[in-house]
Every structure is written in C-alpha cells, then in structure tokens.
Structure 1
C-alpha cells in the first residue's frame, strides 16, 4: 500500500510538471489568436498589444520581447501591469493604555493594481486582542411580565461588575428600556396613563424607548438607574423593541459609543417584536429615517410618526456602527429570535434567558466569548470585482478551505486568510479607482484596499479613425488600434485580398496547405503553426518554412552547425545533438577492448548515452548485472591473484592485462573495496580445493590509464568437528525453546478454560420441580436440662 501511494505521488507530480510545461509552451501561442487589444491582454498576463502603425508583422498580439524583436516601438506597446503594495502594516498587539487602542488586523491598507481576468493574492492576519475595551448597553423590556427581571438585575448589580472585570478591565455599561408605541392598537386609550390597571396594579405610562444611562464605568450608577426605572405595559403581546434598538444604534453620542471598543447590546425580553409595516396600524406610516430622535430626558419622540424599522435596515446600521446584539430571550420566543439571528449574518447571537433573568451574568459572559472566538470577514466589493477567501483557521484544518469565517479561536493566536482578488469586467461607470473595505461586523478595525483598475486599451476608446488612415489598409479598410478593419469583400492583415469571389477564397486557403506525396492529399492550413493571409503563411514565432512546417533549432550554434528545418547539421570537426562536441573526444568513450560505449550507446561530448536497458560509464552493464569489462579484466585479475597467493607465476602478465592499444596498467591489493560502481567478482579454487570468491574494481580515469583494485580473500577449509558441534548445540537450544513455549501456552490455555468453568459454575442454577420432596429426614434429640431427669 505504501509503495502504491509513492507511485501515485510520482505519477501526479509528473502530470503536474507536464501541465506546467505545456502551459508555458502554449501560453505565448494563445496570444496569436487574438486580433483585438482587449482580447489579447485578457488572454494571458504576458500578452502585449502593438499599436505602432509601422509594425508590419501580421500579429499585433505577442509577448513584449517578441514585439520589440519584430520592430514594434516600445512606446506603442500596451502591456498588463499589476501589483500589490502594502501601504500600512502595523504589528498585531493587545490593547495598550498609552495609545488607547489594539491592533487585531494586519495589514491595514493595501494598494492593488488589477488587470482584467488575472487573479492576485494577498494575506490578511487576524488575532483577537487581550483586554480590548467593551461597551455593553443593556436594553431591557420593561413591560409587566418583565417586572421580576428588573428586580433580579438590581440584585445582581455587584456581581455584574465582577463578571465584566473577568472579561476585560476596560469595560463600560449603559441602560435603556422599551415597551411599545403608546397608541391604539398597541395600547387601549383609556389605559395609556396606567396600562397595568387591568392587572389591578399601578405602573408607568406606556412609552416606546427610554434611554436611562449613557455608557459608564461606574457600576453603582447602573444599579441606581435600573432601580429608578419603572415597569410599564401594552395591550398586545408584541413589543416595540426594534424601534428601541435602532435608537441605541444611531444615537452614538447620546449612548456614548467609543469607536475603538467592541460594542454589544444585550436585548432582554420575553415577547415578540413588531416589524416594518406594523406601524401603519397605529398611523405611523412614514418609513423609518434611521436617525436619532431622543429628547433631553432620553425619550424617543417620534415613535408615533415613523414606522418600525425593518430587519434589513437594522442589520445595515449594526454593520455600519460595528455593533453586535445579544438577544437574551425566554424559551417561548427563543425559536423566533434564532430565525432572526440567521438573517443578521454574524452581527447577533441568541441566548436563552430564565424567567427571572437570574442567568443573565452567564449569558453576557458566554455571548462576549462567542463574539471573541469567531470572526467573519465581509467586503463591499462591486459585482465586477470578485474576492475569494481561503484559510485553515489557525491549523484547525490540514489544508486551506474556501471560507471567510472561523470559529473557536483562541485568544492571542493568529489566523491567516489568503484572499484572491479578480477583476471580472471593466466598470461601466468609468470609475477605475475603488476603495474596498474588508471587515468583521463586530470589529472597529478593517483592511482598506485601494484598488486601481487597469483601463481597457485606450485606442479602443477613441472611436472612429480619420480617413487618411485608410492608406495603411490599401484603401480597403480603416486602420484602428493597430489593426485594419476591412471593408466588406476584402480581407487579409492589410486588406489586400479580394474575398468577393467564394472560389478565390478557397484557392487562397489551398495555397497555404502543404502537399503530401499524394498531390490530392493536402496538409492542414499552415501546418496548424501559423495563419494563412492571402495565400501566404505567417508562422507563429518558433516556426518557419513556406507552410510553417519547420520548427526552430533549439540550442544550435550557427558557428558549429547549420539549421535545416529544425535539425542541427554539424559542420566538419563537430558532433553531438547540439554540435558542441569536438570529434576527437570520442576517445573518452572507448573501452580497453577498443569498443565505443561497448557498442551499446553513442558518445556525446566524451560521455556515453546508453541504449536501454544498458547502464554504466561505458554502457558495459546489461541484463542481470552482466558486465563486459568484468569479463574483459577477469583473466588478468585471476593471474594477479594466483601470483599473489603463490600458487602460480604469470610470465606474460603484461600481455594479459594490457588493452588493445598496449597501454600499461596499474593495480593494487586492498583489504576491502569501497563503493559499488565498477565492482566485479572472480572465483578461484585455492590449495585446499575450496571455491573462493575475490572482489575487484576497475577504473579508467582517461584513455591512457587502466587501474585495478583487488581484494584477496583467504578462504580456509571448514573444521567438521567444530561445525558438527555448532549444529548440535543450535538444534538442542532450538528444541528446548520450542518445548518451553509449548508448555507455557498449554498452561495458559488450561488456566483460561478453568476460569471459564468457574465463572459458569457461579451462574448455574439447579432446576428442580416444586413438587419434589427429598426422602432424607433429619431429627434432633432434645437435650436434658437436669442430669437426674430420666425419660
């Protein structure tokens, strides 16, 4: 399985390399097929467009270097220019009192130059800051059913301060309450002064929203403000909470929101809320203007004039002011507020409130941590600019995923988002500079993108061209943006071809087809390596010939070779595929027996290019490690070993060990041969009649030297007594070990069976008939109390 994975990896890697090479080879060629400036620049980033009138090449869309090489003026070449410049990138840091701010988003500003259809990528890093300021506004439903909740909030005042300190040392809290619009049908007219009269109690006249306390760090002021507030009531079971929420959002100065703080509204209620359109029932038919309407006492004055705001309007203001909402609601309305939360796109959170708000501290802590542990970046990009987000959420995933959000973040840990930006189309309003903000709805920080869009080719926007430009097109067209726009019935790069006759058009194309051996069979137009214009092939760069049938010669030195239709033909004295090898270097490929590359390959610049399956410096190694040079040197090595061991004296050793050119050789005896290359084995029978293998290696540093390295092995005969004793001892030990293992395994098996029997015995039950009576009887003789007593 492991080998299969390795093989698959190599295969995929090879395919990717092939695709990359194919893309590079075909990338430039894709430029040639475009005859408009916009299409040219949009095809490939490296494509460029020539608007030079003196440029006579049929192709206006090539790479920049190709256009310059074909005498297009650099001043008249329109190219793609894109780039990313980081303008501001302050380091991430926790909240610092000296600067009164934290840095959670990096970088802060980037300048991007976009090119149509070409994607660029940049990185955004986010890290939740420690001890970041918190502005918490408690917006409470003070209708009759919430009277116990107000008392609980007063009672938990001191604990609320401690809870906020545990979240962050920089916290402030404010307070406001709401009921509903004070008119029919939200309230009965005769009960407007005491809406709780139906319950037999006296309470505050109905009001829409009342701002009691601006944001402050004095918790005692908060508790006193809650104590001074009074319960009110309304008729229906729907409240005007969304009216109150809009005022809390837009009245930034009255509420006291700080720009750098995380702003949270705790919306506590046990009822449903009215939405946009319900105000018509009360005569409030004017669309909510989303402006602040609080008087000096903090009362919302326009509740009977403006309709309730919609969820969409509320959401937009929450995003604009960077405020998050925690809906702390009771179980009977929990599901409804959850559905609202899904529509608020990350600006809200829903928590279940107990009937008397006794768990409000826990809800505030949980909600605040929820906002800190999640981040979701959105942007205000126009439809023609597409942003794609990728992240692994701080190594939560092995690979990058396409998502713009992360959950369960850890405080102080960085999360990286890779953002791909692509210009899909040009702006229709003519505005080529845009500002895009990438931000989280709850953060006061953002990344600002200063986007500069590369305009479409300016020549395409100039409109009609003057009549004197017709001379460039043989008076049969108009020269416009580097190309001739031919009149009807004319064609060609410069409108030189009369296409009014259909037969003439067919004949022109036939002239661009290469004839094969069979005259009736013609090849493709310009061999599919160029374009046919008026019966003449204009070849793509890299090809030549009448029919573009010849590729260019790659790495062909014209001083050493001539190029004939894509092939290098070497001049006298040179060889090799690139004709860069001198002819006499073939001696480096010659083996001691006079063969060039062992007659198994070709010599290129002094090196052997072996045919499959042969390998080695001289292609001497073949199937099953068969080695020609080992066979060649074997007689010499045998003679040297026998002479070394004293079993034979080689009188003609020079003749045996010299090569075909009678060049002297060198040899040495070693105790061990290092390396595997050029290693051979020779087998001899020693004086003890034992077959003994000896190793040797060969080396040929140059054509005039042969060097042999020989390892002599002294093979001694085996002592039969020692061998017999060793075999006997091994057999005894092996049998003893097998016996011990068998006995241990048998005892373990017996112990398991006995334990199993005992376990079954414990749980066994003797099944007897209830009518069965045992025949055995037992009688006890009573003891006498007095020894003198007789029976």
Structure 2
C-alpha cells in the first residue's frame, strides 16, 4: 500500500507526530508473475510447472480470491521468441535482464495501486550481471527502460549490457515488487546472498523436479500477507527527519524505532506513530509547499530546500549541474591525465565531477594553497624558493612555475632584469651540470667532470626543506622528472641534492616499455591457449566420431557348409 502526506505544518525545531492505523483485510488483490529459466537443464521443471499451473491457482485463491497470473521465460542474451527449451554455451543465464523487464514494462499488465506484486524467479543456474556483457562487446550500460516488442520479446539483448544488482534493487523499490528466487540447490547460496541486496526478496530451494513450487509460493505469500513494513522517501528532503514507533496488536505498547510488524491477523489493528521534524536550517514557517521547484540555484534541474539542492531524475551534482548519464568508467576517464598510468583521478589531488577535476584547496591548513591544472597536476605552492619565499617574493607561483613581477626574471624570480645572464642565474647552471656528471654520469661536463667539478661537494638528502638563505635549483632529466637541489651562497662549492627526483606521477620509461612487452606476451599466450583448446576439442570430437563409426561397422562371417556342383549344358 502506498500513501502520501500532502500537507502537514511542522514548526521549526518542534516535532509533529502523525498516527496511522492499519487493518489487514481478506482478499487483498495479488498479481503473480512466473518468470522461468527455459534452458535445457530445466526441461523436467517446465513440464512440472505446466502440470501444476491449475493447482497453483487453486491454492492461491484459497489465500485471496482476487488473483492475476502471468508467465514469462528467459535464456541468455539471444532473444527468446517462444517457450522452447534451449542450451547455452555457458551456464549463467540472462535472468537479470528478464527480471528488469518484468518489473518496469507496463505492457506486462501490472496494476499500480492496492495490489501486491509478486515475481517468482525460477532457475537452476547462476546469472550474468553488469560487466559480463562487455566480454561480447556490449559496452552500453543497461538503461533500465522497457524494450519488449508486441509479442513480448526482448529487443535489446544484443545492444546493451546486463543490469547490475543495484539496478534490480532500485527497480524493485520503485515498482514495489516482491521477488521470490526459487532455485536449485547448487545455486541457492548465490541467490540467498543476492536476496540480502534486493529489498523485499527471498530465496528458497527448488526440488529437482520443481514439485515443491506451490509450497514455496504459498508459504512466502502467507509471510508477506501477515507482515507490515513502513518505508518512506524522506531521503529526497535532507531538511526532514522521520522516526517511527509501532504498536503491533491489541494490548501491546508502542515500541520506539520499530517500523515493522509481523504475524498480523486479519482485521487486527496495527498503529504507527510517524514523527516529523524539520532541521534547524529551515526558515521559520517553511513547510512542504514552500520548497522552490526547479530553482535557479539548482540549475533549474531540481528543487531547493534548506540550503540544499534535491536533483530531478537524470541530474546530479551540488547544484544539479551534471547530467547523470555517464557510467562510472567513462565519467572519470576524462579526469585522468594523458600518459598517467597510475589510475588516479585528478592526479590524486582532487575529485572528478561531471567529467572535470575539482582540485583540493587548503593544503596543510593554508587556505591559499591549492592544486591547479586541468588534472590537478601542479600547484601554487610547489615553486622554487629563495630565503624561504616562493618565487623569491618577486612573483607568484602558478601551476608549479614562477610568474615573475615586472623587473624580475629567472626560474625563481631572484634575478634583477637589469643584471646580465651569468650573474642572474647564480650557480644553479654550474651545479646542475656537476650533478649530472658526478651523480647521473651524463650532461655536458661528463668528459671533463673531474676537472670542472673537483671542488664541488654534493650532499644527498632525503628532501630539500629550504632555509631563509638557501637558493633552490632544479632541472628536468631525460625521463621528465624534476631533479631538485639547493645551495647557500655563503657556503662555497657545497650543494645539497634531493635523493629521489620528483616525477609528478609519471611512470619511468622502462616501466612503460616493460608493461607493453608483458602485455604483448600475455596476448600471445592467451591466443596460444585458445588455439590449443580449440585443437584439443576438435581432436576429441573426431576421435569420438571415429569410435562411433567403428562400433557401427560390424562384419559378419559367412560359412559355406556344402558345395554346389554346377553342370554345363
């Protein structure tokens, strides 16, 4: 049963309680849809179900005279044009596809009000779900729409992927469906786990010949028809808080926090107290009718209430600015920097929203520090420093590079624009060349390293921290990594070198090349395994055929026990 509260005045900060009373009546309308696995393994079960169809209707009418039955079937991805039994290449079936279609298609004939909806899912196999279709090239996510033709055949079998369990659970909630998984013993643990993820569902063991199907359905229906659960959609309104108390029968007291009553008899009165409370952020006197529908604040794609946007279906984001049409893979793929194989969105320094990176701010408690760039790959606080000042206090740090004020230049903006190039650069160029030849065995000084760098002492440290008088130097090596060093002008020929270059999330070339070689080897190995399996299967078939032909070819020995004399005329 579904009902809505159209208007209730709730003063801010003061709870308001609504008392709701129910009585179960006999003959509540029941719609039951029987959804059956039509694979070859269920052949005997199909015959049993056909034979027991009348008995099932008779037993259910004992529970409620208002009964409506429907039947459907499913296989795997190829459409089922008739209720003929078939075999599949693999074991799992396309039951989740069928379950979604049975729930959401209006052509099935579901009534929308004052009706219990029951789907009996009968199978002896596991099922496929979201992602499995990609193995067959079906990369389009399931759209949760009805795609049945006039004859009831599923048209999108080869066009989109299987639905996920969460999609089935959402459809079950939206359409108020109760699902019974009547399955064979070998897959019962799987479906019991699934039933914990789908609201209002149970899993029961089906005998090998399905002879207990009537018992399963009637037993679970009796439990359903004697259980009352209160649910709500208050999650759509973040300013609204709901709480429950239940009185499950005469002579009982209200139990706070209880929203479920079981073993309820016909005509027994059940009471629920539903307490509504508006959060403190709502203005005084605000109630349901004053919510701003399609608010400008919410990009005209949602309602604005209590300082929060509640987005319409198909939109998401803080201000409902994003179309909720991207799947989880393609939506974040746009937030990965080209060439970055680490798999992190926004270089690990931000969040992906609507396919764009929102970079972190307030780094290490400094509200001015933030990550920058299309993929948050740089920042406004990781620039060369002099005397502890970013960009020597003569410029601003923009995406990890100094943008110097007028009259200043250099990597750290420490050079007066009027000075010549050599004095402006200080000793960074000289020290960088010596680091190249003495530590990394490369660079322009390699042939004369002992001569030109003999007086220079290089001290390797874990991290360049920087002091007030320290000048920071850096250069990019042939792998794109930043080699960082520093020196103090007062200490002659002494330079500190950070042991590990800053590669900013880039992978080393040999790692990329090694990964590509490994991938090629794996593809080749997979192809070899597939070829070997194909040859083995083919040989086995030929050998089996040979044995069958050998057994069929029986030779009969004929013995002549007397001679016949021929005479010539």
**Structure-1-length-normalised TM-score:** 0.35
**Structure-2-length-normalised TM-score:** 0.48
